[in-house]
Chain A
Amino acid sequence: MQSGLLFGERVVAVLRKPVSPQLLREHAERILLSDKPVTPLKEIPLETPSNDVLDMKAIERLRNLGGPTLVKNLGESVLTHLPELFDKIDHGIASGDLRAVGDGAHSMRSSAGIVGAMTLVDCAARVEKLSQENNMPETAKAVVELHALYMKVERALHALLKDESA
């Protein structure tokens, strides 16, 4: 579960529930105390069919390699690991530690690729690149998009695991 932090009518940060008071305060300080205008976010489509979220060829390859057990184990592993990486990325954004953001995005790129979540891979690569360029406003914007994409991947992976167990 995730929750958006609104500034005006725009989402400027996404926090995972239960919301950490410290992380919320850090994000609020970053936004409210900044002398730069908050970067508007582009519209993110809310619904994408699952097969656009996960490349089913990647899933089939995993199935051929280790059967449904490998698909299930890797799916569960990714669903456990990616939220941990978001914690690292979010803390990095809130505290201005772009190196931590880049490290988290780098690892996310690899994990997302395993389950064929290529839109997440591309977005994580963009976050990594922007963080290396020391571009905090654009990195923060891309991280919000990363959260939105992950919500779709998370739903698609849960659906996949349910089918795999059936």
Chain B
Amino acid sequence: MKRIALVEDNPDNRLLMEAILDGFDLDQYESGPAALAGMALKRPDLVLLDISLPGMDGIEVLARMHADAALKDIPAIALTAHAMAGDRERFLAAGFSSYVTKPIVDEGLLFKAIEACIGG
């Protein structure tokens, strides 16, 4: 079973994602520092990373992953409630493989993004 790390501070979103990602081993983290520490111990196949995390935001978390030899190859999908013009380009330029807008209203889009990163 593929392992996914979910980095999300909103408890309602975590609960929803837990239900959607039922078929994966899911590790949940509420903050960037907790995720970086946790992923070093349990390396995921993919990380779903909220952009608007308090303190260290998702873009900074990804930058730190890229600076860490053990974590730099893990594909990352941005989760964001932002849906502003230019966001897609900004997230891809930061190194995200894809991005999905919240709240997730179409699980199919999320699964397509996951499949593109780690296969079915």
Which residues of A come within 8 Å of B, CB atoms?
Answer: 58, 61-62, 65-66, 70, 73-74, 77-78, 81, 103, 106-107, 109-111, 113-114
Contact = CB atoms under 8 A, between A and B. Distances in A.
A156 to B, nearest CB: 16
Contacts of A103: 52, 54
B28 to A, nearest CB: 14
Contacts of A74: 12, 15-16
B19 A107 contact: no
A58 B105 contact: yes
A73 B17 CA distance: 13
B112 to A, nearest CB: 17
Contact of A107 (B10, B16, B20, B107): B10
Interface of B: 9-13, 15-16, 19-20, 52, 54, 81, 102-103, 105, 107
Contacts of B107: 65
B23 to A, nearest CB: 12
A73 B20 CA distance: 14
Contact of A65 (B11, B13, B20): B20
Contacts of A81: 10-12
Given A106-B81, A110-B103, A65 B19 contact: yes
19 contacts: A65-B19, A65-B107, A66-B19, A70-B15, A73-B15, A74-B15, A74-B16, A77-B11, A77-B12, A103-B52, A103-B54, A106-B81, A110-B12, A110-B13, A110-B81, A111-B12, A114-B12, A114-B13, A114-B103
Specify the main secondary structure of chain A where it touches its partner: helix
B48 to A, nearest CB: 14
Nearest to B52: A106
A58 B81 CA distance: 17
Contacts of A77: 11-12, 15
A66 B17 CA distance: 11
A106 B103 CA distance: 11
Given A106-B81, A110-B102, A110-B103, A78 B12 contact: yes
A115 to B, nearest CB: 8
Contacts of A66: 19
A66 B12 CA distance: 14
B19 A70 contact: yes
Contacts of B20: 65
